[in-house]
């Protein structure tokens, strides 16, 4: 799909409409105006513009739905927001409304190349034994207090001592590939391979989920065994039957 040129405001409308439909199964002018804190006439004007661009279906007094292209762009905006908010929260240690507002502003201008590096950097900090929680925790303490040169030197010496005692491994992963279906809730796993000709495999390919991508298991449906995962800024549901064909290496701890 060739991405249509949209203003930040119009991207916000698509993102908001997607969320409303997700929550209430239908979107109307009044609800859109309420969420974006604008008047009804502004919403109507934006809807007409988006309709002309073929991104949504709009008629006065009727429910509003996204076209396939409109939904694809909305999901891309949502993904950018999630990736940036995770980076701002987990790496820069800025939380709450401040992080959300910053992600909202950045999501409209970040390039695909920069977003890709941010995704990879966040993954790196989650699995690399020389970074992780301790490294981020140290940065948080550095930001929240007035560190002296002596304190920095002491911390550096302590970290070097820890590294010398650390086993020589590239990561904490169990290197034996296992099916995604066997990874427990809350764990992380690195993608090794998947059936590219399967429906799920084609979906992964379209989303840029390639070998090396990091999965976080967010939940497993008790009745069906379907798996909810976060990967590369997407929140996806992988059916149990498909998860058995997705091979990963699981990380310990």
Q: What is the CATH number of the domain that holds 196?
A: 2.30.30.90
Say yes or no: 1 and 124 in one domain: yes
* Residues of the chain predicted below pLDDT 50: 1-2, 163, 166-170, 253
Whether 152 and 232 share a structural domain? no
Give residue 169's pLDDT.
47
pLDDT at 220: 95
Query: Which of 160, 141, 79 lies closest to 115, judged by CA?
Result: 79
pLDDT at site 1: 45
In a shared domain, residues 109 and 15: yes
Q: Please, are residues 70 and 56 in contact by the beta-carbon 8 Å criterion?
A: yes
Q: Do residue 79 and residue 159 come from a single domain?
A: no
Which of 144, 162, 148 minimizes the C-alpha distance to 92? 144
For residue 82, give the nearest of 232, 223, 213 by alpha carbon: 232
Count: domains in the chain: 3
pLDDT at 152: 55
Within this chain, do residues 57 and 104 fall inside the same structural domain, yes or no? yes
Count the alpha carbons within 13 Å of 225 in the hemisphere toward its beta carbon: 9
Please report, for residues 30, 108, 169, 227, the alpha-carbon distance to residue 6 in angstroms, rounded to integers and kept in the order given. Answer: 23, 9, 46, 34
Q: Per the domain annotation, does 75 fall within a domain?
A: yes
Instruction: Give pLDDT, residue 195.
Output: 83
**Structural domain containing residue 33:** 1-128
Tokens of 205: 């390919």
Domain of residue 1, CATH code: 1.10.10.10
Q: Are strands 65-66 and 56-57 parallel, antiparallel or unpaired?
A: antiparallel
Sign, CA dihedral 102-104-109-110, equals positive
Phi, psi of 62 (to 5 degrees): -115, 165
Is 137 within a domain? yes
Distance (Å) of CA 180 to CA 61, 146, 176, 183, 228: 46, 44, 12, 5, 11
124 and 3 co-located in one domain: yes
- Of all residues in the chain, what percent are helix, strand and coil, respectively (each to 5)? 55, 15, 30
Q: Are residues 202 and 100 part of one domain?
A: no
Question: Quick one: tokens of 135?
Answer: 């490294």
Are residues 105 and 3 part of one domain?
yes
| Claim to verify: residue 79 and residue 202 sit in the same structural domain | no
pLDDT the model gives residue 2: 47
> Which tokens in the block code for residue 158?
């302590």
State whether 40 and 112 are in the same domain. yes
In a domain, 172, yes or no: no
Q: Are residues 2 and 73 in the same domain?
A: yes
Residues 1 and 123 in one domain: yes
In this predicted structure, what is the pLDDT of residue 43?
95
- What's the pLDDT score for residue 31? 94
Q: Tell me, yes or no, whether 146 lies in a domain.
A: yes
**Does any domain span residue 90?**
yes
Domain-located, residue 200: yes
In a domain? residue 171: no
Per-residue confidence (pLDDT) for residue 122, from 0 to 100: 87
* pTM, two decimal places: 0.72
Residue 93 lies in a domain: yes
């Amino acid at each position: 799909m060739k991405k249509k040129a949209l203003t930040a405001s119009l991207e916000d409308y698509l993102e908001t409409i997607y969320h409303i439909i997700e929550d209430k199964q239908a979107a109307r002018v009044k609800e859109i105006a309420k969420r974006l804190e604008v008047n009804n006439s502004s919403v109507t004007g934006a809807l007409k513009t988006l309709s002309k661009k073929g991104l949504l279906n709009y008629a006065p007094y009727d429910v509003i739905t996204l076209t396939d292209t409109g939904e694809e762009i909305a999901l891309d905006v949502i993904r950018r927001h999630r990736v940036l908010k995770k980076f701002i929260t987990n790496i820069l240690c800025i939380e709450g409304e401040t992080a959300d507002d910053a992600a909202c502003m950045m999501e409209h201008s970040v390039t695909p190349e920069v977003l890709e590096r941010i995704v990879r950097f966040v993954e790196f900090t989650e699995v690399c034994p020389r970074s992780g929680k301790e490294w981020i925790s140290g940065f948080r303490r550095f930001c929240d207090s007035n560190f002296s040169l002596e304190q920095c030197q002491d911390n550096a010496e302590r970290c070097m001592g820890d590294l010398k005692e650390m086993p020589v491994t590239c990561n904490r992963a169990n290197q034996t590939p296992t099916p995604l279906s066997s990874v427990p809730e809350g764990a992380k796993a690195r993608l090794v391979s998947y059936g590219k000709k399967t429906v799920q495999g084609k979906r992964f390919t379209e989303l840029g989920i390639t070998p090396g991508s990091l999965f976080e298991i967010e939940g497993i449906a008790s009745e069906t065994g379907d798996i909810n995962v976060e990967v590369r800024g997407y929140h996806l549901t992988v059916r149990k039957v498909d998860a058995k064909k997705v091979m990963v290496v699981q990380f310990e701890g």
